[in-house]
Amino acid sequence: MSLSVPLILQPLIILFLGAVLVPLVDVVGKRVNAEKLKDFFAVAIFALALYKLYTLYLEVAAEGYVEFTIPGFGPPFGSALRVDALSSFMSMLFCGVGLLVAIYSIRYMEEDTGLDKYYALLLAMVAGMVGVAFAWDFLTLFVFWETMAVSGYVLVGFRKYRWEPVEAGFKYLIMSTFGSILMFYGVSFLYGMTGTLNFTYMAETLLSQNNPYLYLVICMIVAGFGVTAAMVPFHTWLPDAHPAAPSGISAMLSGVVIKAGVYGMYRSVFTFFNPAFYNYGAVLMIFGVLTLTVANLMALLQRDIKRLFAYSSIVNIGYIITAAGIAAYALTTYYASSPILATSVAVFALAGGLFHVFNHAIGKGLLFLCSGCFLHEAKTRDLTILEGIGKRMPWTGVSLSIGLLALAGVPPLNGFWSKLFIILAGLSIPQDGYMVIITAILILNAIFSAAYYLWVMQRIMLKSPTERVAKVHEAPFSMVLPIALLASICVVVGAFPGPVLGLADTAAKSLLSFIIGG
């Protein structure tokens, strides 16, 4: 057995073992009069897992990918894990945001009870997401997917003494379960056609086929993952879940959980369905711009700051899905006549989409943690009451402003670059009227969303404090620290986008390797 085998398992073992041990650590903490022991233990587990993921990333960078199969139960029928550049990119993002949320929760959740269960569920949810990124067959992916999903349902409804979280958690449960059933019903068709659930064997069988019935499978898989990704029209659970969940969990939902849906969608369509045979890029772009437009219009109607940010998350999912559509459309339209052009546009679009996955995770995590600071101090989510609170909470207010400007696409912050790359990818397809229309809609929506981001900033930072917020003070240090770090990342990545863009570009090439080689 090679040294890489334990390395690929270590992050998962650490996270799952940490989830199991948190209640025991809580018991020990109470006996030695150290109530915060479980909090610091959870933070340490996340930090250790992130370090192991970084170590694994270095191995992947050197070798191309790392695989693990159970001896005697390997492909094409057994379970398999495989970590490539895309898996490393996503898993480090999942765990990194989880670490910052755990630090934030030390003070934000201190008045709640059952925090040993809260941290256990948070660790299990991140372990499930990391497992989804590592899975190399649909059975293994399903096990990790349900681990992530069940933990998420419970965390949304964690404050079960209030009706709002219970209702939102139940709605999330029903819709996500429907998505999972739809997705794996589609997978059952693939299994019937290929006789395997392993990604490599399935891809080798399907990429040379041109079966029109597979369009139905593509629809089921995209819709199934689209529920978790909050793609319109499957988005309605997200605006209810965000206001109801603790703010740290809202940051997880928008920052990384919906990105697990994006990962599943990206991995499935570009691994199994070669755009040279299946023209689904145009439909993906339609769903992308529909998601953008509907969520932008709905965001204008919101007075609840967390609900507004929830619709903003759906908007950004629209950019990411449109990027996938541009890549697939380029490969469909031009690969036969000009493979170099088609490949370069596809890689550029997917790199822009994955870069936006990172930027939105950082920016939206920042916004939800900031809104949690406001809620913690002012006890309200109403924007009309929160007017001027940035003057009373300057660290939180400035961090919120950076996040708003970043997601608005204001240069030179990080969100500007990823939106620009997606738009440029659309413009890179020559003399195509369809792409001109799609790109124009992208640009108009970008301007539209920037307007209400600036509107929120104006109300929070420039207006005179209302009577309630005039009495508030800055949030505790352990809550301000994560948002200051996230704001700093927005600035640093905006000023020096090269390293993260390089990771996204490598991840995009890894994703397309079954189609374009490599």
| Mean pLDDT, 10 residues at a time, the chain of 518 residues | 64 95 93 89 96 95 89 78 95 96 93 90 96 94 94 90 87 91 91 90 81 88 93 90 89 92 94 86 94 92 90 94 94 83 92 96 95 92 91 94 94 93 89 87 92 92 88 91 96 95 95 76
Q: Residue 507 carries which side chain, given as an amino acid letter?
A: A
Identify each DSSP E strand in 18-141 by its residue range.
Answer: 66-69, 80-83
Structural domain for 504, as ranges: 291-518
- Full-model pTM: 0.94
187 domain residue, yes or no: no
Distance (Å, whole) CA 212 – CA 207: 13
For residue 470, the 8-state DSSP code is G
Give the pLDDT score at 2.
41
397 domain residue, yes or no: yes
Q: What's the token pair of residue 243?
A: 């206001």
Give the pLDDT score at 1.
34
Distance (Å, whole) CA 132 – CA 248: 21
List, for residues 279-317, the tens digit of each pLDDT value.
Answer: 899 999 999 999 999 999 998 888 889 999 999 999 999
Q: Where are the alpha helices (DSSP H) in 247-378?
A: 247-252, 258-272, 281-299, 305-334, 339-378
Q: What's the token pair of residue 265?
A: 């969608």
- List of residues 6+ apart from 484 with CB closer than 8 A: 395, 399
Length of the chain (residues): 518
313 domain residue, yes or no: yes
176 domain residue, yes or no: no
* CB-based burial, 212-230: b 16+ in 10 Å, e otherwise: eebeebbebbbbbbbbbbb
Domain count, the chain: 1
Distance (Å, whole) CA 431 – CA 485: 43
Tell me the C-alpha to C-alpha distance, in Å, between residue 40 and each of 18, 34, 51, 127, 446: 12, 10, 16, 18, 40
List, for residues 415-429, the tens digit of each pLDDT value.
Answer: 999 999 999 999 988
490 domain residue, yes or no: yes
Give the pLDDT score at 6.
63
Distance (Å, whole) CA 403 – CA 463: 19
381 domain residue, yes or no: yes
360 domain residue, yes or no: yes
Give the pLDDT score at 4.
44
Give the pLDDT score at 517.
62
Distance (Å, whole) CA 87 – CA 69: 16
